[in-house]
Amino acid sequence: FGRFGRILGQILSDDFEVNAFDPEPQKEQFGVKFVDKDDIIKEKVLFISIPIRDFKNLILDIAPRLGKGTTVIDVCSVKVYPVTVMTEALPDHVGIIATHPLFGPDSISKPDGMTMMMNSTREVHGKFSFWKQYFESKAIKVVEMTPEEHDRLAAKTQGITHFIGRVLKDAGVGVTQIDTLGFKELLAVIDQTCYDSWDLFTDLQNYNPYTTSMIETLESAVKNVRSKILRRD
């Protein structure tokens, strides 16, 4: 029941009786009751909120035990990988909705609102419209797109933001006595991205098929700009 799981629990518990499973013992919080794995897989709607690197093993574990009428909803920050895993491993009678909530503990209270990417990956029980409308009723802007479209855009937005944040931290960039407003905003990027776990950062880079190209483009741009400022007339 990690950082995003707690946010999801808070949102859903306003309108539903929410059960959750976590390998580590947890006390009830936000109205969320903790049960064991055998009980949780009996639920008709399962939100999967775990590290991307652990996603496949969990899906393979629960797939044979999911009954008819079940809908699985993932919240991974990448989409091609988990969608491939789910469509290949989950039985045909299990509905699949791919989502990426573009908010978290550090951004949920921002005044510009919340956005969620959604994709009706396998419509079996007619649940996609229900959940889309539900999240919209929570003032969440829903954007529909394919997993490929999502990952291509995410590499240029979330991927590059986290990459630059880590690079700046590794370069020793920090607070000084003469910080400009623009520099303070840059420091905010470092704080926001580096507060997330290193595992999340590496998963964002390694499980998005478009991040390698993004990094290569960024490296090329750095070399190009550097060559221009070092040029001697």
Last residue of a domain, one of 128, 145, 162: 145
Does residue 109 register a pLDDT over 90? no
pLDDT of amino acid 110: 61
pLDDT above 70 coverage of the chain, percent: 96
Residue 108 in this model has a pLDDT that exceeds 70: no
Radius of gyration of the chain (CA): 20
> Domain check: are 86 and 192 in the same one?
no
Domain end among 114, 145, 176: 145
Q: Look up the CATH number of the domain holding residue 91.
A: 3.40.50.720
Same domain? For 71 and 97 the reply is: yes
Least confident of 78-82, 87-91, 226-230: 226-230
Whether residue 124 is predicted with pLDDT greater than 90 in this model: the reply is yes
Q: Region 154-172: what's the mean pLDDT?
A: 97
Q: Which residues contact 226 (CB under 8 A, 6 or more apart)?
A: none
Say how many domains are in the chain.
2
- Side-chain-side CA neighbours of 188 within 13 Å: the count stands at 9
Model confidence at 232: pLDDT above 80? no
pLDDT reading at 231 higher than 80: no
Sequence-ordered list of residues with C-beta below 8 angstroms from that of 116, at least 6 positions apart, any chain: 99, 100, 101, 102, 103, 135, 140, 141, 142, 143
Strand, coil or helix: 95: strand
Domain interval for residue 171? 150-229
Q: Inform me whether the pLDDT recorded for 106 exceeds 90.
A: no
| pLDDT of 150 higher than 80 | yes
